[in-house]
Amino acid sequence: MTPRLTSAMLVSALVRRADSTGGSAMVLAKGDATSGAILLLLLERGGRPRFVERAIGPDGVPVLLPAGPRELADEAEASAYWRRRRERDTDLWVVELDIAGGERFAAETMNLC
């Protein structure tokens, strides 16, 4: 078994790195500090909301996978989606990340690439 960082540490690193590079990251919901799933709401300049989630890929390696509806009309619809997810999984972390190339940025920060 390979050692891995806790969910709380990954989220903290993501928020700090986003802030230090001129982006914005905000924890919308805190989950289990050790092993909670991490759902990212990616925005670019406040628009085009979409979700990705940290998951285990078919080869057993952590990856970011698309999550949620493919087309979101606005942030209200995005908020409704993650709130429904939290009702079913209270261990879920939800992080809003507003930065150019958000998926690549998150993958680099969370050492998924």
Closest CA to 38 of 22, 25, 23: 25
Determine the pLDDT at residue 101. Answer: 92
- The pLDDT of residue 38: 96
Which residue stretches of the chain are H helix? 7-20, 75-88, 102-109
Name 45's Cβ contacts closer than 8 Å, sequence gap at least 6: 98
Task: Say if residue 113's pLDDT is above 80.
Answer: no
Report the pLDDT value the prediction gives residue 46, as an integer from 0 to 100: 67
Q: Could you please state the CATH topology (level 3) that the domain comprising 7-109 is classified under.
A: hypothetical protein tt1805 (3.40.1530)
What integer pLDDT is reported at residue 59 of this predicted model?
A: 86
Q: What is the distance between the alpha carbons of residues 24 and 31, in angstroms, rounded to a whole number?
A: 20
- Report domain extents, the chain: 7-109
Per-residue pLDDT tens digits for 25-84: 999 999 999 999 999 999 887 678 889 999 888 888 889 999 988 887 777 888 999 999
